[in-house]
Amino acid sequence: MLHYQLSYWERDSFFRDIDVAIIGSGIVGLSAAIHLKEQAPKLKVVVLERGPLPIGASTRNAGFACFGSISELLDDLQHSSLDEVLQLVEKRYRGLQKLRSRYQDTTIGYEALGGYEVFRPTDQTLFEECADKLAHLNEALSLITGSDTYKHQDDQIEAQGLAGVQHLILNQKEGQLHTGKLMHTLLRRAQELEIHCLCGITVTGLDPIGDSVQISTDHGWTINTSRALIATNGFAAHLLPELEVKPARNQVLITKPIPGLSLKGCFHYDRGYVYFRNVGDRILLGGGRNLNPQGEETDVFGYTEQVQNYLLQILAEHIAPAQSTEVDYWWSGIMGVGQQKKPIIDWVNPRTVAAVRLGGMGVALGTEAGEQAAGLLLEG
């Protein structure tokens, strides 16, 4: 990276008197910035992003507006009490409702097409456990979602064009959105509020000095701010190696348009390690990091033949066996995960808050996580 001095004009207009600098312009960073300016319009809020646009998970995800497939909740119940699991579900469910009421369904491309869990013949034992607990979970979740959440939907297997699938359980309250439209909407709102989003700046360090924080950048110059928020999710280890956040790369493909595609909705396959959905008349398919957990514990974008071949096989054998599909292109994205499913939202030094580890539910949790982090900064 080229090192150079900032001019007087650059310092004076872009970097003077910053009240809050936010590192990372994903859902969390932008939601925090927006909340700060809505609560305290006089604050000077600057967002620093290393990419030409947000390049972590928020612009590269699958757009599932999900809050928990039935097997995921059963798995959670192995380690947590029912109350704890319900609290997590409620947070996600309310998070989605907040997102939708804030930005409107048409603006973010939200469609209430449901979220299906796919059970193959080899998943029979898991299916039986889920079927056994379905009524119990519906009753427990009805306090949150208002009515039955899960329902058997085997009659949809053929209608959706699936093959080699034994059972489907539908989460009727889930939906899908257009990830790009959501991020565009957040950036537009940030602009309206005169939040400065500066791209192409990688933050390399933060040092509390006196009553401010000095931020070092890959350009060689530093920026001073009264307070900072680190919202770098799967890249957190670069700035906060002490936190329990690991990167998890996900490889994703999108097909070319498929005439007469019958698939509609979001699908969780192999306990959610693989996910697919329709995007109009295309199929988006991603995941499979469990094939090589160590190899995919990386924050470097890229692909492996192993995962790509696995996803292609699922596409051909299970998702669209009767249709001719052609992959248009691939991409990858980086999640931030940990042993615990909860995000970390806390002070990491007297002037800096971190809001990281959003896992695979950032669409549902991101707005609230950003707002919670902004709340800490406003109080502190």
Ligand X SMILES: Cc1cc2nc3c(=O)[nH]c(=O)nc-3n(C[C@H](O)[C@H](O)[C@H](O)COP(=O)(O)OP(=O)(O)OC[C@H]3O[C@@H](n4cnc5c(N)ncnc54)[C@H](O)[C@@H]3O)c2cc1C
Binding region for ligand X (CB under 6 A): 23-29, 48-51, 54-58, 60-64, 66, 202-203, 231-235, 238-239, 250, 252, 286, 333-335, 358-364, 366
Query: Least distance to ligand X from the beta carbon of 297, Å?
Result: 13
Query: Least distance to ligand X from the beta carbon of 26, Å?
Result: 2
Q: Are 28 and 373 in contact (CB under 8 A)?
A: yes
For tokens 């009805």, what's the residue?
142
Query: Least distance to ligand X from the beta carbon of 334, Å?
Result: 6
Q: Are 315 and 37 in contact (CB under 8 A)?
A: no
Q: Which is nearer to ligand X, 122 or 186 (CB)?
A: 186
Query: Least distance to ligand X from the beta carbon of 346, Å?
Result: 14
Q: Which is nearer to ligand X, 265 or 362 (CB)?
A: 362
CA distance 203 to 244: 20
Which amino acid, 122? T
Q: Which is nearer to ligand X, 133 or 271 (CB)?
A: 271
Q: Which is nearer to ligand X, 161 or 333 (CB)?
A: 333
Looking only at the bridges linking them, the beta strands covering 115-119 and 212-217 are unpaired
b/e 149-163 (16+ beta carbons within 10 angstroms → b): bbeebeebbeebbbe
Q: Which is nearer to ligand X, 164 or 200 (CB)?
A: 200
Q: Which is nearer to ligand X, 50 or 167 (CB)?
A: 50
Q: Which is nearer to ligand X, 124 or 349 (CB)?
A: 349
Query: Least distance to ligand X from the beta carbon of 175, Å?
Result: 11
Positive or negative, the Cα torsion across 46, 242, 62, 171?
A: negative
Q: Are 356 and 232 in contact (CB under 8 A)?
A: yes
Q: Which is nearer to ligand X, 123 or 368 (CB)?
A: 368
**Helices marked H in the chain:** 8-10, 27-39, 70-79, 82-103, 105-108, 124-145, 156-159, 179-192, 305-314, 362-379
CA distance 152 to 33: 41
Q: Are 373 and 30 in contact (CB under 8 A)?
A: no
Q: What value does the CA radius of gyration of the chain take, rounded to a whole number of Å?
A: 21
Query: Least distance to ligand X from the beta carbon of 359, Å?
Result: 6
Q: Which is nearer to ligand X, 75 or 218 (CB)?
A: 218
Query: Least distance to ligand X from the beta carbon of 132, Å?
Result: 27
Query: Least distance to ligand X from the beta carbon of 14, Å?
Result: 15
Q: Which is nearer to ligand X, 133 or 330 (CB)?
A: 330
Query: Least distance to ligand X from the beta carbon of 248, Å?
Result: 8
Distances (CA, A) of 260 to 162, 263, 283, 323: 14, 9, 12, 9
CA distance 22 to 69: 33
* Three-state SS at 341: coil
Query: Least distance to ligand X from the beta carbon of 301, Å?
Result: 10
Task: For residue 192, give every residue at least 6 positions away whose Cβ sits within 8 Å of its Cβ, in sequence order, or none.
Answer: none
Kindly compute the dihedral angle of the four CA atoms of residues 350, 14, 22, 5, in this order, to the nearest 10 degrees: -80
